Amino acid sequence: MMLYLLPSGDHDWAKELSDKTGIPFLPVDKEPEDDSLRLVLSDRGLFLSDGTLSYQGDFHTLLARVEKNRLNSELLVKAAKPKSFSTGATLLDATAGLGEDSFLLAAAGFCVTLCERNPVIFSLLADTMKRAREEALLPILSRMELYFGDSKELLQSADGKYDLVYLDPMFPARAKSGLIKKKFQLLQKLERPEENGEELLSVAISAHPKKILVKRPKNAPFLGEKAPSYTIAGDTIRYDCIV
């Protein structure tokens, strides 16, 4: 994977990202014309592109969902039950991905640590958060902190540090691949399905949070065959809550 830095892109930030993730960056005059999967940085931020499709995270698309009257009807927020925690409760999103679930949880009042180990997904998320911080989303962003690395390492030294741990490991089988949204077509080229979700769950349990929340496809088996204390299910997904 290469990060192409266009002349309008932020050189210092490209270097910072490259130093942190190990993704090499190359200043170029224009985006290459081949179909290789790559990151491209311009003054409009960072894009994942294969020359035909491109993807960039944008928390603005979630603004309607975080409006006061609507946020509490989000299945994720119902499952997390922020009102059962004290103000400023801490939450580790151990599978941050593109940060959309974290954004909803931060909007609901949690102080969220987002941890992502895939260098490309981390870069896209870091850029999404950077752009959002510069805009009207600052109050929510001020409750979000991003780490690069394997969340098992954070959890192993976290005894009691997090009130809630959230797990959304990628689920392997996707039978109706034709229905996958465009953005996932690109992202699925990056991350193999999580094979150690069970290990992640057992490390999360050993970190002694008050609650662990696991997102699953509605009819999937329990992660690690661990029966939850309760489940909140929607049409296609469910949240298994281990208290």
Ligand X SMILES: C[S@@+](CC[C@H](N)C(=O)[O-])C[C@H]1O[C@@H](n2cnc3c(N)ncnc32)[C@H](O)[C@@H]1O
Cα 37 to Cα 54: distance, rounded to the nearest angstrom: 10
Beta bridge partners of 26: 4
With beta carbons less than 8 A apart as the criterion, state whether 201 and 210 touch: no
Cβ-based burial of 91 (10 A; exposed 0-12, middle 13-18, buried ≥19): buried
H or E element at residue 55:
strand 54-55
Q: Establish if 127 lies at the interface with ligand X (CB under 6 A).
A: no
* Least distance in angstroms from the C-beta of 137 to ligand X: 16
Among 107, 127, 151, 165, binds ligand X (CB under 6 A): 151
* Least distance in angstroms from the C-beta of 101 to ligand X: 4
* Least distance in angstroms from the C-beta of 221 to ligand X: 17
* Least distance in angstroms from the C-beta of 36 to ligand X: 21
Q: Which amino acid is at 221?
A: P
Residues 165-194 that bind ligand X (CB under 6 A): 168-170, 191, 194
Beta carbon nearer to ligand X, 5 or 131: 131
Q: Which amino acid is at 1?
A: M
The residues near 212 (Cβ < 8 Å, ≥ 6 apart) are 164, 165, 166, 167, 201, 204, 205, 241, 242
Cα 119 to Cα 148: distance, rounded to the nearest angstrom: 8
Beta carbon nearer to ligand X, 74 or 116: 116
Beta carbon nearer to ligand X, 94 or 242: 94
Among 42-50, 83-91, 147-155, 177-185, the segment contacting ligand X (CB under 6 A):
147-155
Percentages of the chain per state (helix, strand, coil), in multiples of 5: 35, 20, 40
Beta carbon nearer to ligand X, 42 or 54: 54
Q: Establish if 152 lies at the interface with ligand X (CB under 6 A).
A: yes
Sort strands 25-27 and 211-217 into parallel, antiparallel or unpaired.
unpaired
Residues 96-125 that bind ligand X (CB under 6 A): 97-101, 115-118, 121
Per CB under 6 A, residues contacting ligand X are 94-95, 97-101, 115-118, 121, 150-152, 168-170, 191, 194, 200
